[in-house]
């Protein structure tokens, strides 16, 4: 099975077809049939809203010769944030193709309305394209794709249509990106985030026997999602960046420290066991994953017509090293921080006892010594309390420059497209890009799930339902409004 995109449409024909881009739905297992309630780690509760969105797309496309293409730009399905099977508790270290197909099947079983919406789209002639993200990179594997395809076929058949025919014509999967020359470049964007980039991203041709090689190429963000954040349960949704990590950690430390301790004590022993096994694996000869990635990259470069441009784009990925090295760095930083804290505590204690000794030997009356002791105690503990609180509440500055817009600018200039679209960060964005000959645009399509915005002073809804609409060479970032059954402008302010 080839993993390259279909050949680009001729320019005139392609421009007649609108592109609708959504991302980061993070579908989990949906409803638990045994309890009638949602699974604890579910984040997507908006299946009917999505169905309304698809029905609006179909109505808008009536009579058009070229129906809009609906592109799911990664993390549509969340194979990381799901309850593990009983024998894998608290979490399996990685997903084999067999485990991934079972997990995705349970996700689709828990979201029948979402599957019905996909069937409505293809039955109406809307092409659907799925791109992988860092939470559903397993979507590159043909057996995992077949799970989605079979579900859509069954849903179309249930509607009285010809499921096999419409799925073959209107349902496709791309291994990395969607590209139309001179018009648009679309990919999930995790490769330009140092915490969520894979060294060997392309893995669709990896054999089941070699699937455990993916264990060595797991980004730090995926590692913490599986081994720490899932332990927080429904209190959190997604943690797409280190800045969000800090917000969640600070909130939990202030509001629910027992949950933080419980998650760490329950999850971390399994994480260390996995790290130890992975460290031992690195003593073995190189695995098959790099070879598969390089072979698929070469084939994709040729079949997409990008050639060496694709190799240069692939080189833009932001790697922070493998998980073992990254965790070692974090451990060193933690030990250093603890050492500084202990040293500071010893210095404060030494100062305390020195002042106390001076006070005891001072030629003062007992009431005066008592008064000075009370004042000294108040000053010391007030200082410690204020200092600790300021350190705890201090907002960590955002990393500059933002790596995704910077990568988008390089891609736009390199392959000369006016529009570049990513997802991944859950922050909807419109940014003007400098270009040698013109000025392009970078769009981030945000997410369709709730975001952690208690400390962001923007007049926006917690769930935005954002999507990008590309018409000809122009993009427009919009938000689906279920109550009005139509799109509205996204609330974004100049910075």
Top pLDDT among 322 and 410 is at 410
- Average pLDDT on 149-162 reads 96
d(CA 232, CA 253): 12
CA distances from 310 to 11, 52, 294, 314 (A): 20, 37, 12, 6
CA distances from 75 to 19, 104, 363, 372, 435 (A): 18, 12, 72, 62, 29
**What values do phi and psi take at 31, rounded to 5?**
-90, 140
- Average pLDDT on 430-449 reads 84
* Per-residue tokens: 50: 């999505």
Name the strand (E) or helix (H) holding 70.
Answer: strand 69-73
pLDDT value, residue 30: 93
d(CA 466, CA 477): 7
Residue 61 has pLDDT above 80, yes or no: yes
- Average pLDDT on 96-100 reads 88
Looking at residue 27, the DSSP 8-state letter turns out to be B
Name the strand (E) or helix (H) holding 23.
Answer: none
d(CA 258, CA 254): 10
* Contact predicate 15/311, CB 8 Å: no
**What values do phi and psi take at 32, rounded to 5?**
-85, 115
* Contact predicate 215/273, CB 8 Å: no
The winner for highest mean pLDDT among 52-61, 91-100, 369-378, 484-493 is 52-61
3-state secondary structure of 477: strand
Handedness of CA 358, 359, 361, 363 (dihedral sign): positive
The pLDDT tens digits for 277-322 are 666 666 565 578 889 999 999 999 999 999 999 999 999 998 765 6
pLDDT value, residue 130: 98
Top pLDDT among 455 and 314 is at 314
Top pLDDT among 386 and 417 is at 417
pTM here?
0.82
Residue 6 has pLDDT above 50, yes or no: no
d(CA 405, CA 393): 29
pLDDT value, residue 329: 60
Return the minimum-mean-pLDDT range out of 80-89, 319-328, 355-364, 409-418: 319-328
Residue 400 has pLDDT above 60, yes or no: no
- Average pLDDT on 92-121 reads 91
pLDDT value, residue 283: 55
Report CA dihedral (343, 345, 351, 357) to the nearest 10 degrees: -120
d(CA 228, CA 21): 31
Top pLDDT among 323 and 359 is at 359
pLDDT value, residue 439: 73
Rg (CA), the chain: 26
pLDDT value, residue 87: 54
CA distances from 184 to 81, 157, 303 (A): 31, 34, 17
* Per-residue tokens: 424: 């991944």
pLDDT value, residue 483: 92
Residue among 448, 479, 478 nearest 25 (CA): 448
pLDDT value, residue 5: 40
Residue 194 has pLDDT above 50, yes or no: yes
Looking at residue 51, the DSSP 8-state letter turns out to be H
* Contact predicate 310/415, CB 8 Å: no
Length of the chain: 495
pLDDT value, residue 278: 65
Q: How far apart are the first and last CA of the chain?
A: 46
On the CB side of 99, CA atoms within 13 Å amount to: 18
* Strand ranges of the sheet holding 177-180, from the earlier edge strand across to the other edge: 177-180, 184-187, 419-422, 439-444, 429-434
d(CA 57, CA 63): 12
- State yes or no: cis peptide before 198, omega within 30 of 0: no
- State yes or no: cis peptide before 223, omega within 30 of 0: no
Beta bridge partners of 477: 468
Q: What is the mean pLDDT of the chain?
A: 82
CB atoms within 10 A of CB 40: 14
Residue among 450, 461, 458 nearest 494 (CA): 458
* Per-residue tokens: 385: 């309390």
Distance of CA 98 to the CA centre of its chain: 23
Residue among 227, 248, 226 nearest 236 (CA): 248
């Amino acid at each position: 099975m080839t993993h390259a995109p279909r050949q680009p449409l001729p320019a005139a024909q392609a421009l007649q077809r609108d592109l609708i881009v959504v991302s980061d739905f993070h579908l989990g297992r949906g409803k638990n049939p045994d309890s009638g309630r949602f699974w604890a780690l579910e984040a997507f509760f908006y299946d009917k809203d999505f169905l309304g969105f698809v029905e609006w797309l179909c109505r808008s496309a009536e009579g058009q010769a070229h129906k809009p293409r609906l592109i799911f730009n990664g993390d549509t399905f969340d194979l990381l944030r799901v309850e593990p099977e009983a024998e894998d508790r608290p979490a399996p270290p990685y997903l084999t193709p067999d485990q991934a197909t079972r997990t995705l099947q349970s996700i689709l079983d828990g979201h029948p309305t979402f599957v019905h919406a996909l069937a409505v789209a293809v039955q109406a002639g809307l092409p659907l394209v799925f791109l992988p993200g860092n939470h559903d990179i397993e979507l590159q594997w043909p057996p995992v794709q077949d799970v989605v395809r079979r579900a859509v076929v069954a849903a179309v058949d249930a509607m009285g249509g010809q499921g096999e025919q419409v799925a073959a014509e209107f349902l496709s999967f791309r291994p990395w990106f969607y590209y139309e020359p001179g018009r648009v470049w679309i990919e999930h964007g995790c490769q330009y985030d140092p915490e969520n980039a894979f060294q060997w991203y392309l893995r669709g041709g990896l054999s089941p026997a070699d699937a455990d090689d993916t264990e060595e190429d797991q980004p730090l963000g995926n590692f913490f999602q599986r081994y720490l954040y899932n332990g927080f349960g429904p209190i959190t949704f997604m943690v797409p960046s280190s800045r969000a990590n800090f917000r969640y950690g600070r909130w939990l430390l202030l509001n629910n420290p027992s949950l933080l301790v419980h998650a760490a004590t329950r999850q971390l022993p399994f994480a260390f066991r996995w790290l130890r096994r992975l460290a031992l694996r690195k003593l073995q000869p190189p695995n098959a994953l790099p070879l598969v990635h390089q072979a698929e990259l070469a084939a994709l470069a040729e079949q997409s017509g990008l050639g060496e441009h694709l190799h240069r784009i692939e080189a833009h990925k932001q790697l922070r090293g493998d998980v073992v090295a990254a965790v070692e760095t974090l451990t060193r930083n933690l030990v250093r921080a603890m050492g500084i804290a202990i040293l500071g505590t010893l210095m404060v204690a030494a100062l305390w006892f020195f002042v106390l000794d001076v006070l005891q030997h001072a030629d003062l009356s007992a009431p005066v010594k008592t008064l000075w002791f009370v004042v000294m105690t108040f000053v010391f503990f007030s200082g410690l309390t204020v200092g600790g609180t300021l350190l705890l509440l201090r907002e960590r500055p955002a990393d500059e420059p933002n790596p995704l817009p910077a990568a988008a600018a390089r891609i736009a200039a390199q392959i000369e497209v006016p529009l570049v679209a990513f997802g991944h960060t859950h922050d909807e964005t419109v940014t003007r890009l400098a270009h040698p000959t013109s000025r392009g645009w970078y769009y981030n399509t945000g997410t369709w799930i709730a975001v952690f915005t208690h400390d962001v002073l923007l007049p926006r809804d917690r769930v935005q339902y954002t999507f990008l609409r590309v018409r000809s060479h122009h993009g427009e970032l919009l938000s689906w409004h279920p109550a009005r059954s139509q799109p509205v402008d996204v609330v974004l302010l100049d910075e």
